[in-house]
């Protein structure tokens, strides 16, 4: 439950597992980052949001920086899980699976202005925090690898180089549309964004094999 100030209160008599307590701190950090940015995400703010003492935070994490890092990993995992669920629900057809992965980025729970606010906080640290930069690189690398695999299943004629370029292009398009939709939906609708992605996907799948690029054929 929360009080009138929006601070989460926790029943003192409930004994929670370490995983539950850690997750509560991570969830509170995500909310603080979305609402306050990095500058306003302090031990006090996080603990107030989670409804715990500051001692609990330092018991589970080395400090705010470590907690923000854990939150980045957690948020990235939740987005990946949403994409994986969409792919699994799409069935066995390779094109449907690729389409589902791309379109899931433009639907809830991934299409969420609060998620954008949290990501902006993470992005602001990429250039100054090597640990955050490493997580960012891992998230991007994982997303691209997933798309390359789905493209390979849907269009076996594409070379490895073509799959790589297609994955980068589709990721850039999806990210740009996602960003604009989270900021302002007055320019185009999610349905229009999905149609744009569908068109780009079909163009990638219908690309002709490059006769010059034979060295990297699987």
Fold of 69-205: Tetracycline Repressor; domain 2 (1.10.357)
Angle subtended at Cα 143 by Cα 121 and Cα 96, rounded to the nearest 5 degrees: 125
Residue partners of 171: CB distance under 8 A and separation at least 6: 140, 143, 144, 147
CB-based contact 193:107 (threshold 8 Å) = no
How far, in Å, CA of 171 to CA of 173, rounded? 5
pLDDT tens per residue across span 120-175: 999 999 999 999 999 999 999 999 999 999 999 999 999 999 999 999 999 999 99
Query: What is the structure's pLDDT at 54?
Result: 87
pLDDT (tens digit per residue) in 65-96? 999 999 999 999 999 999 999 999 999 999 99
- In angstroms, the CA 115 to CA 102 distance is 17
pTM above 0.85, yes or no: no
Q: What does the pLDDT read at residue 4?
A: 45
Of residues 201 and 209, more confidently modeled: 201
Reported as a pLDDT band with limits 50, 70 and 90, residue 211 is very low
Give the span between the Cα atoms of 178 and 113, in whole angstroms. Answer: 10
- What pLDDT digit, counting tens, does each position of 9-54 carry? 444 434 567 888 899 999 999 999 999 999 999 999 999 999 988 8
């Amino acid at each position: 439950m929360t009080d009138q100030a929006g601070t989460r209160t926790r029943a003192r008599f409930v004994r929670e597992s370490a995983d539950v307590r850690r997750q509560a701190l991570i969830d509170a950090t995500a909310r603080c980052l979305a609402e306050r940015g990095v500058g306003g995400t302090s031990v006090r703010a996080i603990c107030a949001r989670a409804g715990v003492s500051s001692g609990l935070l330092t018991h589970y994490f080395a400090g705010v920086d470590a907690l923000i890092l854990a939150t980045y990993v957690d948020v990235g995992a939740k987005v990946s899980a949403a994409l994986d669920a969409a792919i699994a629900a799409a069935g066995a057809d390779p094109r449907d699976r690729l389409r589902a992965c791309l379109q899931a980025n433009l639907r809830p729970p991934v299409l969420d202005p609060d998620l954008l606010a949290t990501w902006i906080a993470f992005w602001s640290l990429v250039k100054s925090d090597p640990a955050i930069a490493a997580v960012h690189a891992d998230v991007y690398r994982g997303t691209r690898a997933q798309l390359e695999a789905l493209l390979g299943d849907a269009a076996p004629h594409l070379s490895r180089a073509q799959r790589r370029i297609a994955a980068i292009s589709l990721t850039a398009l999806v990210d740009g549309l996602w960003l604009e939709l989270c900021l302002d939906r007055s320019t185009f609708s999610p349905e229009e964004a999905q149609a744009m992605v569908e068109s780009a996907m079909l163009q990638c799948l219908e690309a002709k094999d490059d006769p010059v690029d034979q060295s990297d054929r699987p």
